Amino acid sequence: MAAQMNICVLGGTGFVGTALVNRLSDAGHWVRVPTRHPDRHQALQVLPTVRLIRADVHDRRDLDRLVEGMDAVVNLVGILNEHGGNTFQRAHVQLTAKLIDALKAGRVRRLLHMSSLGADPHGPSRYLRSKAEAEALVHAASAPVDFTIFRPSVIFGPDDSLTNRFAGLLRLSHGWLPLARAQARFAPVYVGDVTAAFAHALSTRSTIGQTYELGGPQIMTLEQLVRTTAAVAGLPCHLFGLPDPLARLQGVILGCLPGKPFTLDNFRSLMRDSVCAEDGFERLGLARHALLELLPTYLAPPRTAGSQPAQS
């Protein structure tokens, strides 16, 4: 086992964060996880080496306290949609700037930063542009801060809001689903592989200063992803691709609904394929798992007495 470290995980209560915190705890590291709502994350609270701390990561004094004495900090905070004052600028850019200041003040050198595949200052969406802006801040901090940046494609796993969301929508709509950008391409990457990359970087100095694109071994269109989800979950599937003008309108309308199931900015992110230009896992010397291999482990319909196992 790598030496025991003190690690603070911002965004440690989310989908990727929960998986990473579990992995780090299993490896014996001491993990500090700030949250606005400790009562909602009891499952993390019971892990023996994890401390859930009520804190506002946007408050500089809270941040200073959180990073104090840490060997490394992981920043996973991110949003897909803006809600009121929780904007991309605030969650991705301003928080990263504050975190870098806190790391410098606290003399904490190691930072693992979560970005996104397609992050680009000239990208089509505010999401992708803000992710690029945050990356630029991390690069600019490189003298005192030993950073590693990760850029994943869409991430899947038992608690994801990707395959589970599509399965839920297909169930609700009896399989009828209008799809924006149905031919947009992705390299769905398993959450366990993403957290393995983060854990590996913590103990491998050659990852300092590096950016890793993380994609799974299968490239699929959004339509193939939804059809695969439906097939594995045993759900009906009648997709119809929306032409772009209608898809934009869908983003505008659904973006006004509570919870914003789809927004114009989401539509714009889909204008860019989310596939890797390089294999970050190969550079890290790590294996990766295919969607088709793992989806049936958490999405397959429960077998009823007397039913036959699905044939592949």
Nearer residue to ligand NAP within complex by CB, 91 or 201: 91
Nearer to ligand NAP, 81 or 175 (CB): 81
Tell me how far, at minimum, the Cβ of 159 lies from ligand NAP, in Å: 8
Q: Which is nearer to ligand NAP, 86 or 173 (CB)?
A: 86
Residue 51 β-bridge partners: 32
Nearer to ligand NAP by Cβ, of 249 and 254: the residue is 254
> Which residue type is seen at 217?
P
Decide if residue 154 touches ligand NAP (CB under 6 A): yes
Question: Residue 137 interacts with ligand NAP (CB under 6 A)?
Answer: no
Positions 36 through 55 that interact with ligand NAP (CB under 6 A): 36-37
266 contributes a contact to ligand NAP by CB under 6 A: no
Nearer Cβ to ligand NAP, position 13 or 250? 13
| Interface pattern 89-128 for ligand NAP (x via CB under 6 A) | --x----------------------x-x------------
Q: How many residues does the chain have?
A: 312
Q: Which of residues 55-94 bind ligand NAP (CB under 6 A)?
A: 57, 76-79, 86, 91
Residue 14 found at the interface with ligand NAP (CB under 6 A): yes
Minimum distance from CB of 307 to ligand NAP (Å)? 32
**17 is an interface residue for ligand NAP by CB under 6 A:** yes
**Binding residues for ligand NAP, per CB under 6 A?**
11, 13-17, 35-37, 57, 76-79, 86, 91, 114, 116, 152, 154-155, 162
